[in-house]
Structure 1
């Protein structure tokens, strides 16, 4: 769903930072070879993720939902020299595709891939995070939040993608639409939880920025 006209979206892209060449290649190959390429963060949101990471200057980054690795590389752009990024996904068939682009970047040795269910993997990561990007199955967003929060450094940032869910969050809820129901609850949790302060940005399909207090 386009929340802005395509003309405005194009203008915004033209007047934002350019997409790095490696990410442009990844973007193109994703659309050529991978199912559901619209899941890619894409040029504009990628530049937003990059800018936020550069402002935060994280050491430890966690990404839930790797897809083809585009957003991971964007987040690495602001990572400190000794930083690491852990990224989790369930799609075994994408691991080699991700690794190819990770190794083409200067952060290849700092990016660690985890294959499996994030709810099982997160408890095994025994260190705290400065930046987390949640972009996986919406049905587990609340579970992810409760798992992540105790593992965040004070002042750390949790980014949550797709929180407007193609505008379904303001439409009549269908009885069988579990994902929208959970996202509505998730957005309310972020609003009301006094351990974080949150702003919801109408970027792409909705991006929430939550700062840990």
Structure 2
């Protein structure tokens, strides 16, 4: 099952503020050259991330799953002058692409790229996060959530991507590993009295989670 409506996405893009020149370049290059370009946020989703970051004005942002750096640069748009964005990527090849993109950006000195397993890296980062974006392996979402929630400041926000997982979370019975993991994550968060949440049907689904 596929929930994504290309015509609706194009319509939404038409009435969404345009992304800057560098983001457009990364977006185009990734779509043209990367065999897994579908893993990147859409331009509308990217502008939503930038919009939310500009509202929050975070000092410390954590991203789990860098890919080619597009979403990190969107999230960096709201950073305060002394702010930092830390992003974690498991795959060295994607990390190299992302680092090149970061080095050419306005936020080059504020973005810090870590290569390796997020579960190992996150405990080494001595920050209280204002904003966290989870977009990595779907079977690890609950672990990432439980790891970062104690490190999230009060009223801090976690954004989890792909929480509709191509509509597969609606299938019954659900026999697909990633969709089952995402559904379990959605249920886990919904039952958590420590947070408030709202699930948005933007592209492949975004779960916005605020710490109480």
Output the TM-score relative to the length of structure 1: 0.96
Q: 1:211 corresponds to which residue?
A: 210
1:4–1:138 Cα change, 3 Å: closer
* 1:109 alignment partner, SS class: coil
CA distance, structure 2, for counterparts of residue 48 and residue 78 of structure 1: 12
- Which range moves more in the overlay, 138-147 or 6-15? 6-15
Query: Unpaired runs of 5+ in structure 1?
Result: none
Q: 1:186 corresponds to which residue?
A: 185
CA distance, structure 2, for counterparts of residue 87 and residue 61 of structure 1: 8
CA distance, structure 2, for counterparts of residue 163 and residue 4 of structure 1: 13
Q: 1:198 corresponds to which residue?
A: 197
* Structure 1 residue 124, shift from structure 2 partner: 1.0
* 2:88 alignment partner, SS class: strand
CA distance, structure 2, for counterparts of residue 7 and residue 29 of structure 1: 22
CA distance, structure 1, for counterparts of residue 128 and residue 8 of structure 2: 39
Q: 2:128 corresponds to which residue?
A: 128
C-alpha contact 1:155 1:211 (8 A) present in aligned 2: yes
Query: Unpaired runs of 5+ in structure 2?
Result: none
Q: 2:24 corresponds to which residue?
A: 24
Q: 2:9 corresponds to which residue?
A: 9
C-alpha contact 2:4 2:166 (8 A) present in aligned 1: no
C-alpha contact 2:4 2:204 (8 A) present in aligned 1: no
Q: Residue by residue, what CA displacement relative to the aligned partner does 1:49-94 show, whole Å, maximum 9, x if unpaired?
A: 0001011110000000000000000000011111100000111012
* Structure 1 residue 2, shift from structure 2 partner: 5.2
Aligned residue pairs total: 212
Q: CA RMSD in A?
A: 1.3
CA distance, structure 2, for counterparts of residue 145 and residue 6 of structure 1: 30
C-alpha contact 1:173 1:181 (8 A) present in aligned 2: no
Residue 116 of structure 2 is aligned to residue 116 of structure 1: yes
- Which range moves more in the overlay, 97-106 or 197-206? 97-106
1:14–1:70 Cα change, 3 Å: same
Q: 1:138 corresponds to which residue?
A: 138
